[in-house]
Amino acid sequence: MEATAPIHLTALPTGSWARLHGCELEAEDRALLCALGLSERCRFRLCNAREPWIVQVRTTRIGLADSVARRLLVIPEPAP
Amino acid sequence: MERPAAPPRIALLGNPNTGKTTVFNRLCGVLAKTANFPGTTTEARFGAFELPGVGPVEVVDLPGIYRLTLRVPESELCCAVLDGVPPYRAPDVVVVVVDASNPVRNLELVGELLAHRRPTVVALNMVDLAQRRGLTLDAAKLGERLGCPVVPIVARKGTGFDALVPAIAAELGRTTPPTVRGPAPGDCLEDWAEKTIEDSLGGARAVGAPGDSLTERLDQAFTHPVVGILAFAAIMAGLFWTLFALASVPMDLIEATFEHLGGWVGRVMPPGAIRELVVDGVIGGVAGTVVFLPQICLLFFLISALEDTGYLARAAFVMDRVLCRFGLPGHAFVPLLTAHACAIPGILATKLIPDRRDRLTTILVAPLMSCSARLPVYVLLTSLLFAGRPLLAGLAFASCYLLGAAAALVSAFVLRRTRRELAGSSRPMMLELPSYKWPSFQNALLTAKNQGLDFLRTVGTVIMAISVVMWWLSAYPHSPPTREAEALRLEARALAPEAAAEPLAQADYLDRKNAQAQSFAGRLGRLAEPVFAPLGYDWQLTVGVLTSFLAREVFVSTLAILLIGDPAAEVENEGVLAKIRTARRDDGSPVFTTATSASALVFFIFAMQCLATLMVTRRETGSWRWAGLQLGYLSALAWVAAFVTFQGLRLLGAS
């Protein structure tokens, strides 16, 4: 399987699917993001490609400020 | 068998937005009360109900958390309560409320809880919503997998409680340690939760949770840079219109009731100091505070309903774009807007702000938003400044609001950069956007009731005590009648009753003015006069400013008494305004010049001048230090701004 290079979340178009690859956030914010459900293990769908960036993990919709979205690296995935 | 000293305790735990509070309300009804956890500013609800076969049990509604291991005060508090770390008593049973439509993330918290080895019941809430989304969990299978009872419920409709209550009773009656089966040490919590759900599926599963088109469309609109702001403005305008429109009737009723009560007590009690204390000190002081109760209850009712709909999380993002430039989070907007009605509910509403530094900053600047208690002061001073020029008076009036809001933003900016404890930018916003729902009337009603009682408890008692002190300061020591007043009364005796009314009123006026001047408050005014003299205030205005520390609106009634001797005076009364405008200082110069009026107006825009707000700040921040900082910086800001205004206008020749 061909590996896709990670890109910033802000480079994804609305409706695309991806998986979190890494983030440049402080430990507390990273832990909160993970507790909200956005972790490296989960696929998510980008529902809104502007601030607030809205991602949907399973049934949870999470809103992210620009400052967070810019620091998230994701790997695009094909839609299910 | 030895009876336990305290009734059994049940703790409710769960993620935010899982319906935990609805479960609490269903169990405890209207008898619940809200209080902060000892030594913290984290709010919890405490209630009780009669559990069949067990007797009375206590219920504590813990704050909503995502994980027990997160380094946030709410998670740390939950851990302390669950482990019974003093001063907390460990619960005998933990009821975890799980959102059945979002089971994996919710189960991660259950997994963490099971590690604490406490008797646990899982309340699988919103099973109807989960089924609509194509997800059906087998409660029996899930219970077997977790080693604890799992009860499907729909808290909003009250279904499933006939099974939940016996399950709690059974866990309370347990004589052996629970055999819960959480993740093994070193297991990935998320994998464990996924696997547990996979093993407990009782029907079709929603694959990848397809987007709900209505939610998508609403989110697009409510978070749009333009449409979002317009929607926000419309919703907030509707909320505040409803607040002012509906609250005015009960407010008028309360005012009238206290007025009648004061009148009745005045007639029933014999004249003397006790009657004055009860009528002017106790009833008058309490009435001034309780009159805001309808606004507070209604505001919290509306905010609770709005929060229930899921909209507020979206609104927080809309406002974050503006407020973050000044070091405030988007969550701060609702508390700041609320503070326009009254700073107290505004400060209480900061509980919506998750980060403590953000919350503290918002509390510190909230009194700068022009509250309704400032209205009579603004009306009086703008009318004095622009008599006969209503357009200019209106513009000045609106500017007061803008100036207050601008000062709040700038103060937040400065505080974030100068106070070490507040330093740094606000936490970046990342929020769960809960599903859109119809609000729960019962939840909103209970929130309004709890906040109303809280307001009466924490503010009413303090206000009453201070009112009594202020009444005493302004009423004592009694002064004998002045010679001029005695002469007027002698003169009146020789006149017909109709003609005697005027000199008698004048005699009363002179006596009251003399009594005020000789009272402790009057002496205090003269003592403090040098502090306010650079702002253009004489001792009478100084007393007005000092007494208004109790509540801003007291300024107008104090001036009405001090300057014209008519305690029943109203601001709208043109005669009163004319008399205040022409009131004289001891040296015969006018009390209010253009420079003095402008200086007083600016002072009241910025000054703290509200004891009740100070007390609430102390309570919500958990420290006198923050309350002291708030009082200090706002008083300094008000003094400097009023000084610059007065001296600047004098230099420009306005006097």
**pLDDT tens-digit map of B444-477:** 888 888 778 877 775 566 667 766 777 788 778 8
Q: Are strands A43-48 and B120-125 parallel, antiparallel or unpaired?
A: unpaired
What pLDDT sits at residue B574? Answer: 45
What pLDDT sits at residue B42? Answer: 58
DSSP string spanning B458-504?
A: IIIHHHHHHHHHHHHHHH-S--PPPHHHHHHHHHHHTS-HHHHHHHH
Q: Among A28, A42, A47, whose Cβ lies nearest the Cβ of B219? A: A47
Going along chain A, which residue ranges are E strands? 7-8, 17-23, 43-48, 53-57, 60-64, 72-77
Residue B588 in this model has a pLDDT that exceeds 80? no
Highest-scoring range by mean pLDDT, A42-56, B234-248, B374-388: A42-56
Q: Is B74 on the interface with A (CB under 8 A)?
A: no
Contact call for residues B416 and B422 (beta carbons, < 8 A): yes
Nearest-by-CA chain A residue for B108: A35
Which B-chain residues 486-545 have CB contacts (< 8 A) with chain A?
Answer: none
Angle between helices B624-651 and B594-606 (to 10 degrees): 160
Which A-chain residues 45-74 have CB contacts (< 8 A) with chain B?
Answer: 45, 47-48, 50-52, 54, 56-65, 67-68
What are the angstrom distances between the C-alpha of A20 and each of A8, A9, A43, B3?
Answer: 10, 9, 7, 54
pLDDT band at B573 (very low <50, low <70, confident <90, very high): very low
**A60-64 sheet: strands from edge to edge:** A7-8, A72-77, A17-23, A43-48, A53-57, A60-64, B430-432
What lies within 8 Å, CB to CB, of A71 at 6+ separation is: A23, A24, A25
pLDDT in tens, B514-571: 887 788 888 888 899 999 999 999 888 898 888 788 777 667 766 766 664 443 344 4
pLDDT in tens, B226-237: 999 999 889 988
Instruction: Give the ipTM of the model, two decimals please.
Output: 0.94
Mean pLDDT in residue range B159-169: 94
Longest dimension (CA), chain A: 34
Residue B423 in this model has a pLDDT that exceeds 80? yes
How many whole angstroms separate alpha carbon A70 and alpha carbon A53?
10
pLDDT in tens, chain A (80 residues): 456 789 999 999 999 999 999 988 888 889 989 999 998 888 999 999 998 999 999 888 999 999 899 999 999 998 87
How many whole angstroms separate alpha carbon B252 and alpha carbon B258?
10
Give B355's contacts in chain A (Cβ within 8 Å): none
B430–A65: do the CB atoms touch at under 8 Å?
yes
Residue B36 in this model has a pLDDT that exceeds 70? no
Give B104's contacts in chain A (Cβ within 8 Å): 37, 58
Return the SS3 of A13. coil
Mean pLDDT in residue range B484-513: 85
Percent residues over pLDDT 90 in chain B:
26
Residue B209 in this model has a pLDDT that exceeds 60? no
| Neighbour count for residue B263 (Cβ, 10 Å) | 12
Helices (DSSP H) in B366-389: which residue ranges?
375-385
DSSP string spanning B66-122?
A: S-TTSSSHHHHHHHHHHTT-TTSPPPSEEEEEEETTSHHHHHHHHHHHHTT---EEE
What pLDDT sits at residue B500? Answer: 86
Q: Among A35, A47, A59, whose Cβ lies nearest the Cβ of B216? A: A47
A35–B108: do the CB atoms touch at under 8 Å?
yes
Q: Are strands A53-57 and A43-48 parallel, antiparallel or unpaired?
A: antiparallel
Which B-chain residues 164-193 have CB contacts (< 8 A) with chain A?
Answer: 188, 190-191
Q: Global pTM?
A: 0.74
What lies within 8 Å, CB to CB, of B544 at 6+ separation is: B555, B558, B559, B562
Higher-confidence position of B1 and A38: A38
Average pLDDT along chain B:
83
Amino acid making up residue B121: V
pLDDT in tens, B395-409: 888 889 889 999 999
pLDDT band at B289 (very low <50, low <70, confident <90, very high): low
Residue B138 in this model has a pLDDT that exceeds 80? yes
